A = this chain, B = another copy of it.
Amino acid sequence: MSQSTYTVQGMTCGHCVQSVTEEVGALSGVSHVEVDLPTGLVTITSDSDLSEADVRTAVTEAGYQLAS
């Protein structure tokens, strides 16, 4: 089990949270995604280490951006 945290910019409502959760949750090995809307913090639990590139792609596909 591995846990990683990212900051996502641009989420404004529950629908945004849902979109990000769905896209990130669809990454191979991800078992849980938790999003805190006010801070933009996304905590990902996965079976193995995820690459930041994969997370970035998922977040972008959802329509948002990883911070820096």
Contact = CB atoms under 8 A, between A and B. Distances in A.
A16 B16 CA distance: 9
The number of times this chain is found in the oligomer is: 2
Interface residues of A, number: 8
A14 B19 CA distance: 12
A13 interface: yes
A21 to B, nearest CB: 13
A23 to B, nearest CB: 13
Interface of A: 12-16, 18-19, 63
9 contacts: A12-B12, A12-B13, A13-B13, A13-B16, A14-B63, A15-B15, A15-B16, A15-B18, A15-B19
